[in-house]
């Protein structure tokens, strides 16, 4: 200690040492203050700003973009990016450039940050687009405010810009809204009786029957099975029902390579709200269950659990179609999984006449001639439509039905 005392005394007497020490202390204090201020800033930032992050795998991304355009919140932005129109269907051919943008809405200061990752692609191989992320932040706002903007954009998408049911396809582990399909009237689905009107009435009842199911302690689910030969209108009926009941269509390909039981269950649990779920040609995937054979990544038991298991989604209709009902396992089409069975078969001459009249509305006499030529034979609606399309410019030739009428069998020429 006796040696250190004179050394320290001499050091403190040195202006260089004292200045260096002072600078060191000042640096420590400055670093402490900086860390403290940053921590206070982040704490304050979390309290005065609310934010919501969206990416273009979700339909909410499109709804928010439509809301921005409808309200012209970035009309004065000087930084935009030209697009191919797919960044948000229903908007113009350009959007905000990547980076930060400021705007006011409802008296609130808002910030939009758009990030585009060109290396991360989403969508099918033939329709890929880069991953995009929007972060919406509002000063002294509420998350409910941003959600309200998204809901407004959704209403616009479903009314003004809607041409028909929205089509959602499962892409990986998320549902992709790939666009709208044209609206179709229920009257365009041809049958010989009123079974189409009956299934429409049933589906309308189902989507209004939440309380009815709850009062009886029954899961709010409804399954439909459309069956019949190819070309009888099963897919057309799905689109017509969605159009009439104002629903979207969420279509599932359960035979897709790599799809597992867990994937299927989660996909059906998070199917887009306001959609009916369609699984077409289910016989092609599970034609028969023999010896527990597992023909795809989705097992038979996994499919059954996804339809009506403990975690199955409620408040949605499920439609399955098949060309061969007899090949389906009874467990798949029992009540509770397929409550309503609708057969779409071949149609007779009177129904074919109605389609002729739709093609040629001013040719009443030719429509009757067409019916007489068809006689007692039956046809699929697709056959009749194909014949009428082939002769769409010549109603007289169409009325002859020469390409539809089967030749008489067993009559030998004398």
How would residue 321 be classed by pLDDT, with cut points 50, 70 and 90?
A: very high
Residue 344 predicted with pLDDT over 70? yes
Question: Of 139-148, 171-180, 320-329, which gets the smallest average pLDDT?
Answer: 171-180
How would residue 200 be classed by pLDDT, with cut points 50, 70 and 90?
A: very high
Please report how many Cα atoms fall inside a 13 Å half-sphere around the Cα of residue 344, on the Cβ side: 25
Dihedral angle computed from the Cα positions of residues 344, 348, 352 and 353, in that order, rounded to the nearest 10 degrees: -140
| Best CA proximity match to 167, nearest among 223, 127, 116 | 127
Could you tell me which CATH number the domain at 186-343 has?
3.40.50.300
The C-alpha atoms of residue 409 and residue 366 are separated, in whole angstroms, by 27
Q: What per-residue confidence (pLDDT) applies to 131?
A: 84
Q: What is the mean pLDDT of residues 181-195?
A: 89
Packing angle, helices 143-158 and 59-71, rounded to 10: 90
State pTM to two decimals. Answer: 0.64
The C-alpha atoms of residue 111 and residue 122 are separated, in whole angstroms, by 26
pLDDT tens digits, residue range 99-121?
888 888 888 899 999 988 877 77
Could you tell me where in the chain the CATH 3.40.50.300 domains are found?
186-343
Question: Of 71-75, 197-201, 299-303, 389-393, which gets the smallest average pLDDT?
Answer: 71-75
**Which residues neighbour 28 within 8 Å (Cβ) at sequence distance 6 or greater?**
none
The C-alpha atoms of residue 18 and residue 24 are separated, in whole angstroms, by 10
Q: What per-residue confidence (pLDDT) applies to 32?
A: 66
């Amino acid at each position: 200690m006796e040696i250190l005392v004179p050394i320290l005394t001499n050091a403190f007497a040195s202006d260089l040492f004292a200045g260096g020490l002072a600078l060191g202390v000042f640096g420590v204090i400055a670093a402490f203050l900086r860390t403290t201020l940053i921590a206070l800033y982040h704490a304050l930032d979390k309290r005065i700003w609310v934010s919501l992050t969206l990416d273009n795998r979700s339909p909410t991304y499109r709804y928010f973009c439509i809301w921005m355009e409808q309200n012209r919140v970035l009309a004065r932005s000087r930084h935009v990016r030209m697009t191919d129109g797919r960044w948000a269907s229903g908007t113009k051919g350009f959007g905000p450039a990547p980076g930060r943008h400021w705007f006011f809405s409802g008296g609130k200061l808002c910030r939009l940050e758009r990030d585009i990752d060109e290396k991360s692609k989403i969508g099918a191989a033939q329709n890929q687009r880069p991953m995009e992320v929007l972060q919406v932040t509002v000063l002294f706002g509420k998350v409910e405010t941003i959600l309200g903007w998204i809901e407004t954009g959704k209403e616009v998408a479903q009314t003004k810009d809607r041409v028909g049911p929205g089509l959602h396809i499962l892409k990986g582990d998320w549902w992709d809204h790939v666009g709208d399909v044209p609206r179709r009237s229920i009257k365009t689905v041809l049958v010989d009786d009123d079974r189409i009107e009956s299934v429409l009435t049933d589906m309308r009842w189902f989507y209004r029957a939440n309380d009815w199911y709850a009062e009886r302690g029954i899961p709010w689910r409804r399954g439909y099975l459309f069956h019949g030969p190819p070309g009888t209108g099963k897919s057309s009926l799905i689109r017509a029902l969605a159009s009439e009941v104002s629903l979207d269509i969420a279509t599932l390909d359960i035979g897709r390579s790599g799809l597992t039981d867990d994937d299927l269950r989660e996909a059906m649990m998070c199917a887009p709200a306001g959609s009916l779920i369609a699984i077409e040609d289910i016989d092609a995937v599970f034609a028969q269950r023999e010896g527990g054979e597992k023909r795809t990544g989705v097992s038979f038991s996994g499919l059954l659990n996804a339809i009506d298991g403990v975690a199955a989604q409620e408040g949605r209709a499920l439609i399955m179609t098949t060309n061969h009902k007899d090949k389906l396992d009874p467990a798949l089409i029992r009540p509770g999984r397929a409550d309503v069975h609708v057969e779409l078969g071949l149609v007779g001459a009177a129904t074919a006449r109605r389609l002729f009249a739709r093609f040629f509305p001013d040719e009443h006499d030719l429509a009757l001639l067409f019916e007489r030529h068809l006689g007692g034979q039956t046809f699929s609606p697709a056959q009749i439509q194909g014949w009428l399309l082939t002769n769409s410019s010549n109603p007289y030739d169409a009325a002859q039905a020469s390409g539809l009428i089967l030749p008489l069998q067993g009559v030998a020429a004398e």
